[in-house]
Structure 1
Amino acid sequence: MAELDNLYKAVILEHFKHPRNKGLLNDATYKTHRIKNPSCGDDITIQSKVENHQIVDCRFEGVGCSICLASASVLTEIAIGKETSDAKKVADNYLKMIRNEAFDESIDLEEAEVFSGVKVFPARIKCASIAWQAFLKTVFDEDEKQ
């Protein structure tokens, strides 16, 4: 179990130190949504581009803790190339997982699975979720159900 925890920590640290798809584009074909967490200072903006029901790009910008920024980085890698319906299933399932709610283990969360331990730290759940909530807003123009 300790080896798995160390692997999870390593993945989070890698995405925090070397974030993927960081930086927003000045392009009107992208939808953008920003969420701030006033309790801890996390501030994330997600930008997504959808063509023919497929996510062709997903980017982020922001400041925050390692969990928040790593979660945004992992999200962008998972989302790019997915059909919107599949991306929604992954995002909804991820949010259930980190909240310790029943979720569908048959849906592959890919690297996002490393955030499963967040559920035992209630104060960090928001850190791990705001990028995903913003993503749902950019792609589906809906607020994630809490």
Structure 2
Amino acid sequence: MENIDPSYIGDGIYKENILDHYKHPHNKGTIEDANIKHTENNPLCGDIISVNLKVNGSKVKDIKFTGTGCAISQAAASMLTEEIKGKTLEEIKNLKTEDIVNMLGIEIGPVRTKCAVLSLVAVKQGIKEFESKKQ
């Protein structure tokens, strides 16, 4: 785990909610019988996120993630899994970068934006592969 000083303000990047999701991530783990599995990485930062989704019909029944990286990427993955559980694949495909930034509740620059959206990229790419196999 990255060593983070909670008093670090910098760009206001490590808010309490982000630190909480980073230290105590929601939905961390794997799903044995997942319909969707996909991994993405951010070579600039070293972040890696793997997502596992269990889809029933067109709805996400369960989602889990594993990975390593900065507090932003890991907290965003934790928050995203909470956000999309129970949503349809179409609703998830319509999520945008701004939605992730709003979940985080902070302003971030371009480099950190790549960290923040890594889990969303993994989910969307996984859905794309899943849907292409169904056709």
State the TM-score bracket (shorter-chain normalisation).
0.7 to 0.9
* Runs of 4+ residues over 4 Å off in structure 1: 109-112
Q: Distance in 1 between matches of 2:123 and 2:65?
A: 9
Name the structure where helix makes up a greater proportion of residues: 1
Cα 1:17–1:112 shift into 2, 3 Å:
farther
1:123 has 2:111 as partner:
yes
Equivalent residue number for residue 103 of structure 2: 113
Query: CA shift at 1:140, angstroms?
Result: 3.0
Question: CA RMSD, aligned part only?
Answer: 2.3
Listed as ranges, the gaps of 5+ residues in structure 1 are 98-108
Q: Distance in 1 between matches of 2:62 and 2:81?
A: 8
For residues 54-93 of structure 1, the C-alpha deviation after alignment (integer angstroms, 9 at most, x for no partner) is 110111000000000000000100111112222222x2x2
Equivalent residue number for residue 51 of structure 1: 56
Q: Distance in 1 between matches of 2:89 and 2:49?
A: 21
SS in 1 for 2:15: helix
Number of aligned residues: 119
Which of 46, 55, 59 aligns to 1:41? It is: 46
The TM-score normalised by the length of structure 1 is: 0.72
The TM-score normalised by the length of structure 2 is: 0.77
